């Protein structure tokens, strides 16, 4: 179970609505630490992916301009209640996380 991703997935008339909240600091690399005055190293999500039935339904390329703890919402067709989706992300430091959720 992913520690950084919360997912809600619902389907209506074959169209799934996916809502994700990702817990991530999303540092740009240009912000300074208030105490030390030194730059905080860049750490941001570069890729977010979603799979349904072994097929990719979303592949997003992100950068440092995305806010801390990003929210992602998208829709795709061809889903039904009880199907499983997999959401994953990879950041610029090589860290990653993934989770699976049932569509309601």
Domain boundaries, position 43: 5-102
pLDDT digits (tens, 9 = 90+) for 32-84: 999 999 999 999 999 999 999 999 999 999 999 999 999 999 999 999 999 99
Question: Would you state the structure tokens that stand for residue 56, as one six-digit string?
Answer: 């990719």
Q: Which residue has the tokens 């570069």?
A: 46
pLDDT digits (tens, 9 = 90+) for 14-27: 999 999 999 999 99
Give the integer Cα–Cα distance in Å for 89 and 59.
10
At 22 the pLDDT is 98
Give the integer Cα–Cα distance in Å for 77 and 16.
6
Q: Please count the structural domains in the chain.
A: 1
- CATH number for the domain spanning 80: value is 2.60.40.10
Residues 7 and 18 sit within 8 Å (Cβ to Cβ): yes
pLDDT band at 2 (very low <50, low <70, confident <90, very high): low
pLDDT band at 1 (very low <50, low <70, confident <90, very high): very low
Residues 6 and 21 sit within 8 Å (Cβ to Cβ): yes
Terminal CA-to-CA distance of the chain, rounded, Å?
Answer: 18
Question: Would you state the structure tokens that stand for residue 99, as one six-digit string?
Answer: 């989770």
């Amino acid at each position: 179970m992913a520690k950084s991703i919360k997912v809600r997935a619902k389907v209506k008339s074959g169209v799934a609505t996916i809502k994700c909240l990702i817990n991530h600091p999303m540092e740009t690399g240009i912000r300074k630490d208030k105490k030390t005055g030194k730059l905080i190293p860049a750490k941001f999500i570069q890729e977010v992916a979603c799979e349904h039935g072994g097929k990719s339904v979303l592949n997003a390329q992100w950068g440092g301009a995305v806010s801390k703890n990003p929210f992602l919402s998208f829709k795709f067709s061809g889903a039904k209640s009880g199907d499983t989706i997999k959401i994953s992300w990879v950041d610029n430091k090589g860290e990653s996380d993934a989770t699976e959720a049932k569509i309601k």
